[in-house]
Structure 1
Amino acid sequence: MTIDSKDIYTEWGCTLLEGSFDGILKYPKRKAVKYNNWAEADGIDPDLSIVEFEPKTVKMEFIMKADTLEMFWSRYRKFITDLSAPGYREFDLIPGMTNRLRFNAGTAYDKFVPFNAGENASVFEFSLIEDNHSIFPATPSGGINLRGDYSINGIDFADFGIGSDDKQEDILKYPAIKTPFTDGRTTDLSTIKTQHKEIKLSLWMLAGSVEEFLNNYRAFFTQLAGAGNQELYIKSLDGIIQIYYSDCPSFSVEIWREDQIAVRFTISVVAPVVSWVDAGGDIRYRVLKDSDLGLLADEKGRIIVFN
């Protein structure tokens, strides 16, 4: 593992703790998508021509060995000085993956044990920022046998080594209804239109090597987070829906060995138009109305509507 081509153990006496891979691999959040939200149409009309990501905070936890407290502070000060030098640092911590990060000057030491005399080891955590996420197109290889639940742009999730926890709540939950037009006295209930919908998928991923994992990881997010709408097939709906990538709220490495990788992560996607439910379409409604009192309501204040 190197930083700016310097071995972190030889240069600073450090070893990166494995939990730090979570932040490195967590895919960045997409910048807010601009869209039109027409009252007379279902969902939204987003501009998906450009894909940009928000800066990502990466927390890394290190353990540093030193024979004495003085040696620790000498190594630690040098490490801080080298990491916080002007410009970006190039982190090569996962074989085949380079991350350009800058030191977060406002870092908070959530974990900081300066010196444990019993083990001559210190544990501390740094916060770094990735400003420009690099995209590496790839083709899936390897995979698993659990097929058919999901596919993205015609490629089964299994081809990426990805399976699902089979939680369908966000998919099956009925979408919100757009607020009907009103002029303050009357409310137009002649049509019912649905809002767009965010869907979260709880996923896991397996690979037989670091190389296979990194290839399939890049291939999956290349398909998911590309420009324009993506086609997501969902078995429980028996159909394809149009979606675009929004965020990767969580990412956790559970097993990291040369011959076995296992991770869990969550993705958030947005369906601009909920096409798999019938929200009433253009059904005409009749609303009870009095010429003097306006719209009539029941004893609970609910507008009286007949279809």
Structure 2
Amino acid sequence: MVLVVLGIDALDPELVDSTDHQNLTLDSHLSIETINSIEGEPSTHELWPTIITGLAPEEHGLKLNDGVAWENPLLRYGSAAANYLLPDGIQTRIGAWLLNNTGEDAFRVPATYYQKNGISTVFDGRDAATIGIPNYVVDPENEDREHSLRRNLGDLFERSGSAPGGHTSADPAVFYEQCLEMSMVRLARARRALRGGEKELVFAYTSGLDLIGHVSYDHPRLQMQAYSELDEFVGELRDDLHEDDELLLVSDHGLQDGVHTHEAMVAATDNRLVDDVGSVLDVRAAIESELDAHDHDGSGRGQRLSMGQNDAVTSQLEDLGYM
């Protein structure tokens, strides 16, 4: 038995429909509360550490001072001085310029951060596969296709204080295709980890839906098309589940009209997984309760898969350039 947790950044409870998106709503889904950053809207940088620790940002310490990237290692020294010397608006513009004109990324805090600071996570003591989780980077020297694409988007995704969603894209259609490729990579990696039969917990994350949402304020059709395609991708993962496996979907916030909204959501193949989840602070406890109460042992799973089944996922990863 394997528990698969799929983090879908910006999966919005108001934009999913149990008829049109059966794989994004699963057997049980509900809206949950999220946490706002100092800027007044939910922050991806802060929320995924919250989801894996069950701690508010003030407790786990990974906070954005201006909603951009001042916790980035490259900027950390400068941010301390900037807090005293620069008005908030100028800090934000400088942070935006640095993100647009350097290869740095705001979401690459190494997993060792938690141990060094005495912070426990849902992965401690677990046989877990962690795939692309923001600010929980097991191997900072390596990156997969999603992270590589995100880091090199250039003018396809630029911060802009004057844009409705705070971002612009030189070509939303091309940008859309790259974001869907990002999601396909992460879903394929999750499927491969599930099929490998070595983990009790597979926790994967993708940002494609969030990125598309940020630039689709003038192209709402693109955002809803992304929901439909992602529903299909999750359906492929769902087809890989054995009868005793479970799937939990988690978002950190919603996103409408290019802007983060103040509701997140969860969905699961069994309502027991989400019944006690009222906010992003409860997700860790729900995962641990499921793992403690049921035997999530993937051993022997790989031997039950046909060669054709394994080859199909391997081929998908190769086509996407991951293998």
Counting helix residues as a fraction of each chain, which structure ranks higher? 2
Structure number with bigger Rg: 1
> Which fold has the larger relative contact order, with Cα–Cα distance below 8 Å and residues 6 or more apart in sequence?
2
Question: Normalised by the size of structure 2, how large is the TM-score?
Answer: 0.25
Question: Normalised by the size of structure 1, how large is the TM-score?
Answer: 0.26
